[in-house]
């Protein structure tokens, strides 16, 4: 997943800039995993886990019958990623687009919760540790599992552990004082969902900065991994329309209509499609009357654009966290 995020970071760069090689960044990610593995290998099981009188301090963690405790696993991740290597959340410049670009995050050692979460997921999984992204309201979290136990950690704040009281407080800060913890708040995110969440943060920041070309590239590239996501097709059509690329907007909206199951939303976009077709037809007549052909709007799409289609939801005004 982290490798895919690095490829996205490379693709999202404008065509006028030199495309950066992802290899050095992958090497840093793999080194983090090696450090976590070494940290765990040097640990011993806690004495209070002994059930047969054996002194657990004499058993190395990599013993076939021994496993690190959940606290040891979380502590190893904290020690390596947050403390030794200094990866932390960027609270001062939270809306900086660099916080959602994994290349920039690795270089600056600052980022959004979802971007930092990818570092923990990569390192943990390379060490055989079960870790899952959690779509907690307003704040991306991680669930780590080891030795039959689970813990929720916050990658934005140094991988600190969050118990029920802390999670409840976090939920209320985002959803209001009446909100209470429920099973849906612990819903796991697939790797594709996590990648799309990261891309969405870049897209929203690009829109806020008025960088429509970048926002369009981000949505196009997102469709590479989620071509059936109707919401992305809707967003792409809207972005093409704002760029006056009517041919491309028409194609994207048509892809949306094929996937949309909401009759009202589908009817609304079908009306937009008819408007686009009428406009393109009028433009064609006008062009023929002049005896010349203008360049198609598709020619203005960046060379690395995919033309992918997808989406149903309107373009969000605010990013995930």
Higher pLDDT pick, 194 / 301: 194
Residues 6+ apart with CB under 8 A from 14: 213, 214, 217, 302
**Structure confidence by residue, pLDDT tens digits, 92-149:** 999 999 999 999 999 999 999 999 999 999 999 999 999 999 999 889 999 999 989 9
> 238 near 265, Cβ under 8 Å?
no
pLDDT at 44: 55
CA distances from 28 to 232, 260, 274, 279 (A): 32, 41, 51, 51
- For the cut 90, the answer to whether the pLDDT of residue 202 exceeds it is yes
- For the cut 60, the answer to whether the pLDDT of residue 49 exceeds it is no
49-58, 252-261, 289-298, 303-312: which is most confident: 252-261
Predicted TM-score (pTM) of this structure: 0.79
Residue 212 has phi, psi (to 5 degrees) of -65, -35
Largest CA distance in the chain: 95
Residues 6+ apart with CB under 8 A from 239: 212, 215, 216, 219, 315
Q: Which two tokens stand for residue 184?
A: 């849906």
User: How far is 274 from 278, CA to CA, in rounded Å?
Assistant: 6
pLDDT at 19: 78
> 122 near 1, Cβ under 8 Å?
yes
Architecture of domain 2-189: Roll (3.10)
* Superfamily (CATH H level) for 210-300: Tetratricopeptide repeat domain (1.25.40.10)
Residue 231 CA to its chain's centroid (Å): 16
CA distances from 71 to 68, 98, 131, 142, 205 (A): 8, 32, 14, 14, 36
Neighbouring C-beta atoms of residue 243, cutoff 10 Å: 17
CA distances from 12 to 2, 17, 60, 158 (A): 15, 11, 45, 28
- For the cut 60, the answer to whether the pLDDT of residue 289 exceeds it is no
pLDDT at 292: 41
Question: Mean pLDDT for the chain?
Answer: 84
Confidence band (pLDDT; 50, 70, 90) for 290? low
Tell me the HSE value of 79 on the side-chain side, using a 13 A CA sphere: 16
Domain boundaries, the chain: 2-189, 210-300
């Amino acid at each position: 997943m982290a490798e895919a995020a690095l490829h996205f970071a490379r693709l999202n760069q404008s065509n006028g800039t030199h495309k950066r090689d992802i290899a050095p960044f992958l090497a840093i990610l793999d080194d983090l995993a090696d450090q976590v593995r070494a940290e765990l290998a040097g640990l011993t099981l806690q004495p209070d886990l002994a059930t047969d009188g054996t002194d657990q301090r004499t058993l190395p963690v990599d013993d076939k019958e021994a496993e690190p405790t959940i606290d040891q696993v979380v502590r190893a991740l904290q020690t390596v990623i947050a403390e030794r290597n200094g990866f932390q959340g960027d609270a001062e410049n939270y809306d900086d687009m660099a916080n959602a670009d994994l290349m920039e995050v690795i270089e600056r050692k600052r980022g959004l919760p979802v971007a930092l979460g990818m570092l923990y997921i990569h390192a943990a999984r390379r060490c055989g540790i079960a870790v899952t992204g959690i779509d907690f309201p307003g704040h991306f979290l991680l669930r780590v599992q080891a030795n039959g136990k689970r813990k929720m950690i916050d990658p934005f704040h140094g991988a600190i552990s969050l118990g029920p009281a802390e999670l409840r407080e976090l939920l209320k800060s985002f959803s209001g004082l009446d909100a209470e913890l429920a099973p849906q708040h612990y819903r796991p995110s697939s790797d594709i969902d996590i990648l799309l969440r990261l891309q969405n943060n870049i897209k929203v920041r690009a829109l806020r900065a008025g960088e429509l070309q970048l926002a369009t590239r981000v949505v196009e590239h997102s469709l590479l991994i989620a071509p059936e996501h109707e919401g992305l097709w809707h967003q792409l059509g809207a972005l093409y329309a704002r760029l006056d690329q009517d041919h491309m907007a028409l194609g994207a909206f048509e892809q949306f209509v094929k996937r949309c199951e909401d009759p009202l939303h589908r009817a609304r976009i079908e009306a937009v499609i008819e408007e686009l077709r009428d406009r393109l037809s009028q433009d064609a007549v006008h062009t023929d009357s002049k005896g010349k052909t203008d360049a198609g709007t598709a020619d203005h799409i960046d060379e690395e654009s995919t033309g992918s289609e997808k989406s149903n939801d309107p373009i969000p005004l605010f990013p995930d966290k």
